[in-house]
Chains A and B, each alone.
Chain A
């Protein structure tokens, strides 16, 4: 019962580099989402997906891409990292008809 697994836990990038944050869940949840957490800002929704092949933008999508080729995986791509993307990133999933979200333990990203 792994739940939601995020990798890596920590990452340092240089400005302009690209990388993919991985998120996988083993609960057969249709809905998956990515949030970023910044001090004094709470959590803000970046992108979400209600099923394989379906994605949509959240509140702060600029600079991030996502795709959903399988139910289990929902990677978040940074094409050209910027210092403003320094944050803690959380992946969360749930059944579409359910109220309860399951969160991953987060990825702390620093862009220098």
Chain B
């Protein structure tokens, strides 16, 4: 079946450290891939997306590249800040008829950044 697997947390980093959160997927066809972020007490917000192989999504210093050969979409940031503390969700959206574009989420990775 279709699924998303992301690294388990929590992840604790010091400010200005490099961040990688791994995400791999299993899907039929060619899905679109997303990273969502959830700040404490809030709903999810779209962080970045990639709709085809080799696309790189980027936003707020975060980047992720759609790697079809490794079925991966790892999230990276060169220098994290305390304000980046949140839960990060990797997700895929199937793009064929009948799926209605529903999102399939990973379990989430909690990131805590210490000053």
Q: Does B101 contact A (CB under 8 A)?
A: yes
Contact indicator per residue, chain A 3-21, by CB within 8 Å of chain B (1) or not (0): 0100000000000000000
Contact indicator per residue, chain A 75-91, by CB within 8 Å of chain B (1) or not (0): 00000000000000010
In contact, B107 and A96 (Cβ under 8 angstroms): no
Q: Does A58 contact B (CB under 8 A)?
A: yes
In contact, B43 and A105 (Cβ under 8 angstroms): yes
| Chain B positions within 8 Å of A4 at CB level | 43
Q: Does B51 contact A (CB under 8 A)?
A: yes
In contact, B100 and A42 (Cβ under 8 angstroms): no
Interface size on B, residues (CB 8 A): 22
Q: Does B89 contact A (CB under 8 A)?
A: yes
Contact of B51 among A33, A56, A99 (CB under 8 A): A99
| Band of interface residues on A | 20 to 34
| Chain B positions within 8 Å of A44 at CB level | 105
Contact indicator per residue, chain A 90-112, by CB within 8 Å of chain B (1) or not (0): 10101010011101111000000
Q: How far is the CA of A106 from the CA of B101 in the complex (A)?
A: 21
Q: List 23 A-B contacts (CB under 8 A).
A: A4-B43, A31-B101, A33-B102, A35-B105, A40-B107, A42-B89, A42-B108, A43-B89, A43-B105, A45-B104, A48-B102, A58-B102, A92-B43, A96-B101, A99-B34, A99-B93, A100-B46, A100-B49, A103-B43, A103-B44, A103-B45, A105-B41, A106-B42
Q: Does A50 contact B (CB under 8 A)?
A: yes
A/B pair count, beta carbons within 8 Å: 52
Q: How far is the CA of A48 from the CA of B102 in the complex (A)?
A: 8
Which A residues fall within an 8 A CB radius of B?
Answer: 4, 31, 33, 35, 40-45, 48, 50, 56, 58, 90, 92, 94, 96, 99-101, 103-106
